[in-house]
Amino acid sequence: MRKQIAAANWKMNLNFSQAQAFITELKSEQFDITDHRSVVLAVPAPYLQFTTEAFKEVAGFSIAAQNCYAQKSGAFTGEISVEMLTSIGVHHVIIGHSERREIFGEDNALLAKKVDLALEFGMTPIFCCGEPLPVREAGTQNDFVAEQLKASLYQLTAEQMSKVVIAYEPIWAIGTGKTATSEQAQEMHAYIRSQLATQYGQALADGVSILYGGSVKASNAVEIFQQPDVDGGLVGGASLIAKEFAAIIRALK
C-alpha cells in the first residue's frame, strides 16, 4: 500500500510555548502508526530543532520545513538552505505552497530548482500544486495542474520522482472553510496520477503519495481520505489544535 500521510502545516502560527504545549498533547494521543501510515509536522523554522528532538524516538513522525531556498549557501539574507535543514535532522520540506507562489512570487522554474536541491540532499519534497478559483470556474484545472507538474517535476529521473510527495491544494479551498468535495479531490488526484503514469510509468505513479489540502478537518477527513487516490492530507488551520489533528491522523486509511 502507498504511504498514507497526515501532514500538519502550521504556517506562521503559534508562539514557542503554544508549540511546546501542542507537542506534549499530541505525544499523549494514541495512534495506530504502521509501515504505511506516517505523520509530518511542518513547523515554523525557529521550532524545527526542538520539534525534531521531541519526536526523535517517536516512530512514524517526521518534521518538515515549510520552505527552503534554491541555492546551496551564500549571501541570501533570511533564507534557509537544505543543508542547514538536513544538518539538524529535518528531512522533509514543503515546496511550492500556494502562499509561497502567490504572496512571495515563487514560480514554477524556481520551484524546480528547490525540488532538485532538496533531492540532492536526500530530503523528501512535499510538492504543492493546485488551481486558483477562476481556473476552476473556467474548468481548466487539469491543464493548470499538469503544467505545474511538468514545469517543476518532470526534470527529475524516475528514481528521484519516486521520492517526491505531491499535495494537491485547490487555492479556493485553502483557509476558506470551503473544501473540495471528495469527488472533486478524487478526480484531480486520479488525474495527477495518470499524468505521472504517462511520464514515468504506471508502477511509479502507483507508488507516489498524493495528499489533499484545503480545509481538511476531523469532521471531513475520513470521507476525503477514503478516496482511492487520496493518500492523506496537508492540513493548515485544523493542525493547530492537537486533538483535532490527532483525529485527522486517525482518519488515515
| Active site residues per annotation | 97, 169
Q: How many CA atoms lie within 13 A of 52 on its CB side?
A: 17
- Give min distance, CB of 217 to ligand PGA, in A: 8
x-or-dash string of contact with ligand PGA, 3-42, rule CB under 6 A: ------x---------------------------------
Return the residue of 119, 145, 192, 235 that touches ligand PGA, per CB under 6 A: 235
Instruction: Tell me which of 106, 169, 229, 231 binds ligand PGA, using CB under 6 A.
Output: 169
Cell of 181: 468535495
Which member of 26, 85, 174, 249 binds ligand PGA (CB under 6 A)? 174
Question: What is the CA 39 to chain-centroid distance, rounded?
Answer: 11
What SS3 state is found at 25? helix
Q: From residue 192, how far is each of 14, 42, 103, 104, 218 by CA, in Å?
A: 33, 23, 25, 25, 25
Question: Whose Cβ is closer to ligand PGA: residue 106's or residue 169's?
Answer: 169
What is the chain's Cα-based Rg?
17
Segment 197 to 216, residues that bind ligand PGA, using CB under 6 A: 213-216
Of the candidate spans 53-61, 64-72, 135-143, 169-177, the one that interacts with ligand PGA by CB under 6 A turns out to be: 169-177
What ranges in 105-250 are assigned the alpha helix state H?
Answer: 108-120, 133-138, 141-153, 158-161, 182-200, 202-207, 218-225, 242-250
Q: Which is nearer to ligand PGA, 42 or 90 (CB)?
A: 42
Q: In the complex, which residues of this chain contact ligand PGA (CB under 6 A)?
A: 9, 169, 174-175, 213-216, 234-238
